[in-house]
């Protein structure tokens, strides 16, 4: 049944009284920088998760396409992961000193990641990329890091840059992402155009000052299935220029394939970073890479040695949960075939619906990660997104939430192993109905 934005909002307000009260109460206590909450079309606060569903404070059930920002490959509260956590708890969950739990996950990560001759654990994906930058600088003796427009590598100062929209597409200029980022760091950052041949020329021009060229296995803001060709050429140019090449697998690791983007696209970096799926739902980060490069982590007395640490790094609770989740994925490779099939079916259905109805919207996806864009035409990089249909975009997500499908405020969405064919059918139905509603209401301007 068709509905307007006003109707959808009224229905959500009526059935989310507890969430709205929590939102008011939080405003007096907590300032939260989580984009997923700040950008949600309507405030909902999650009480619990089960499989592919989450339940809010009012008891409303939603199909969850955030799935922990992509980390719950097995769905919420998977029994294998739950059992591993419960088995660890009576023995203690934090010692500071290295525990007996680290080796299982380290071996699994070493076997899965093509570049992983050595492994270092930390606490978050942001920490992992920060340490990767530091390691590259220590090893190479050079200071500049090359990143790509549209990237996200975590919340540390060295990653908080965006392309100035007024700068040329083939030579993007970095601007700080918000206040508080020291402008002096801008001189240590080279921004490159994503999936554009000009990037290779810029690397060659700056090779003597570049410590590392770092790229997401697949940009979560712009999931392009053709990313592999670009990654392979990038690897070759870095080798030619004697510049370290790194892949951020925080999102793509154990998601786009068991061996991540490295396996899916047949590419081999010098260093790679991990997070999300690796922790089985608990906080984690990891850095993997060539043995000689990773030697910098053995202490500041090593050649190019760097400082790294963290009270909770490699804590036993995370290690056991991560080993359970990753081990289960290793034992069930059919999960990836099913996710690939379902991701394709979802994107084909939504894109076919938009084409048939002449709705200027499209879904980009790689395997089980997907992102809606509210415009037609080519979308090679994030610089191609014009943002003129923001009213239609916001209306779409409001309708989806009201119809029981939660898409995170970042709009970077994912499927899990427990999003079965019936759930995919429901997502397709909700997405198509919601697109039709905002189109009928005249919210598209392009």
Q: For residue 226, what are its two tokens? A: 């053709």
Is the CB of residue 355 less than 8 Å from the CB of residue 397? Answer: no
In DSSP terms, 121 is beta-bridged to 286
Model pLDDT, residue 410? 86
Give the separation between CA 3 and CA 437, rounded to whole angstroms: 6
Return the domain boundaries, the chain.
Answer: 92-331, 335-365
- Asked if 365 and 345 touch (Cβ cutoff 8 Å), the reply is no
331 phi and psi angles, rounded to 5 deg: -85, -10
With left for phi above 0 and alpha for psi between -120 and 50, is residue 266 left, alpha or beta?
A: left
Q: Other CB atoms closer than 10 Å to residue 196's CB: what's the count? A: 20
Within 8 A by CB and 6+ apart from 137, the residues are: 143, 145, 211, 212, 306
Question: Do β-strands 144-148 and 53-56 pair in parallel, antiparallel, or remain unpaired?
Answer: unpaired
Residue 212 β-bridge partners = 145, 244
* Angle CA 252–44–55, to nearest 5: 75
**Dist CA 296 CA 209 (whole Å):** 19
How far apart CA 23 and CA 116 sit, in angstroms, is: 43
161-163 and 174-176 strand pairing: antiparallel
End-to-end CA distance of the chain: 25
Residue pair 19/56 in contact (Cβ under 8 Å)? The answer is yes
Question: Tokens 């700068």 identify what position?
Answer: 167
pLDDT given at position 32: 67
Token pair belonging to 391: 């009213």
Residue 326 burial (C-beta neighbours within 10 Å; 0-12, 13-18, 19+): buried
Distance CA 364, CA 393 (A): 15
DSSP string, 401-442: HHTTEE--TT--EE--TT--HHHHHHHHHHHHHHHHHHHHTT
Nearest Cα residue to 287 out of 212, 191, 188: 212
Class of domain 92-331: alpha beta
Q: How high is the pLDDT of residue 38?
A: 55
User: Helix or strand or coil: residue 279?
Assistant: helix
Q: How far apart are CA 216 and CA 334, in angstroms?
A: 25
Q: What is the pLDDT of residue 163?
A: 93
Residue 147: strand pairing partners: 191
Under a CB-based contact definition with an 8 Å cutoff, are residues 116 and 288 in contact? yes
Tell me the CB-side half-sphere exposure of residue 200, using CA atoms within 13 A.
13
The pLDDT score that the predictor gives to residue 28 is: 80
Tens of pLDDT along the chain (446 residues) come to 678 999 999 999 999 999 999 988 887 887 766 555 557 899 999 999 999 999 999 999 999 999 999 999 999 999 999 999 999 999 999 998 989 999 999 999 999 999 999 999 999 999 999 999 999 999 999 999 999 999 999 999 999 999 999 999 999 999 999 999 999 999 999 999 999 999 999 999 999 999 999 999 999 889 999 999 999 999 999 999 999 999 999 999 999 999 999 999 999 999 999 999 999 999 999 999 999 999 999 999 999 999 999 999 999 999 999 999 999 999 999 999 999 999 999 999 999 999 999 999 999 999 999 999 999 988 888 788 888 999 999 999 999 999 999 999 889 999 999 999 999 999 999 999 999 999 999 999 97
Q: Is 28 exposed, middle or buried (0-12, 13-18, 19+ CB in 10 A)?
A: exposed
């Amino acid at each position: 049944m068709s509905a307007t934005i006003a109707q959808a909002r009224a229905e959500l307000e009526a059935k989310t009284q507890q969430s709205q009260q929590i939102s008011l109460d939080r405003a007096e206590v907590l300032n939260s920088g989580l984009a997923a909450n700040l950008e949600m079309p309507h405030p909902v606060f999650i009480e619990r998760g089960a499989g592919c569903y989450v339940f809010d404070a009012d008891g409303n059930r939603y199909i969850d396409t955030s799935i922990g920002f992509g980390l719950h490959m097995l769905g919420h509260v998977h029994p294998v992961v739950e059992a591993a956590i419960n088995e660890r708890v009576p023995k203690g969950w934090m010692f500071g000193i290295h525990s007996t739990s680290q080796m299982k996950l380290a071996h699994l990560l070493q076997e899965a990641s093509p570049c992983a001759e050595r492994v270092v654990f930390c606490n978050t994906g942001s920490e992992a990329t920060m340490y990767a930058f530091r390691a590259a600088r220590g090893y190479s003796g050079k200071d500049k890091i090359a990143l790509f427009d549209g990237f996200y590598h975590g919340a540390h100062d060295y990653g908080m840059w965006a392309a100035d929209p007024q700068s040329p597409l083939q030579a993007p200029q970095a601007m700080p992402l918000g206040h508080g980022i020291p402008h002096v760091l801008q001189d240590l950052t080279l921004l490159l155009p994503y999936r554009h041949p000009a990037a290779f020329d810029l690397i060659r021009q700056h090779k003597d000052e570049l410590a590392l060229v770092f790229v997401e296995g697949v940009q979560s803001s712009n999931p392009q299935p053709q990313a592999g060709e670009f990654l392979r050429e990038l690897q070759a140019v870095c080798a030619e220029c004697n510049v370290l090449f790194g892949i951020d697998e925080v999102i793509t690791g154990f998601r786009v394939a068991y061996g991540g983007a490295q396996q899916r696209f047949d590419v081999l970096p010098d260093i790679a970073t991990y997070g999300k799926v690796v922790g089985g739902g608990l906080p984690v980060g990891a850095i993997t890479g060539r043995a000689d490069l990773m030697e910098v982590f053995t202490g500041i007395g090593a050649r190019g040695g760097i400082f790294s640490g963290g009270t909770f790094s490699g804590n036993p609770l995370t290690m056991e949960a991560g080993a359970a989740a990753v081990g289960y994925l290793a034992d069930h490779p059919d999960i990836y075939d099913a996710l690939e099939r379902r991701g394709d079916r979802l994107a084909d259905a939504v894109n076919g619906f938009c084409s048939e109805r002449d709705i200027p919207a499209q879904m980009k996806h790689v395997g089980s990660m997907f992102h809606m864009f509210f415009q037609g035409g080519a979308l090679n990089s994030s610089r191609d997104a014009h943002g003129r249909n923001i009213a239609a975009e916001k209306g779409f997500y409001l309708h989806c939430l009201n119809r029981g499908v939660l898409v995170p405020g970042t709009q970077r969405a994912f499927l899990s192993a427990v999003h079965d064919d019936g759930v995919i059918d429901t997502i397709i139905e909700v997405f198509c109905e919601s697109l039709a509603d905002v189109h009928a209401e005249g919210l598209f301007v392009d």
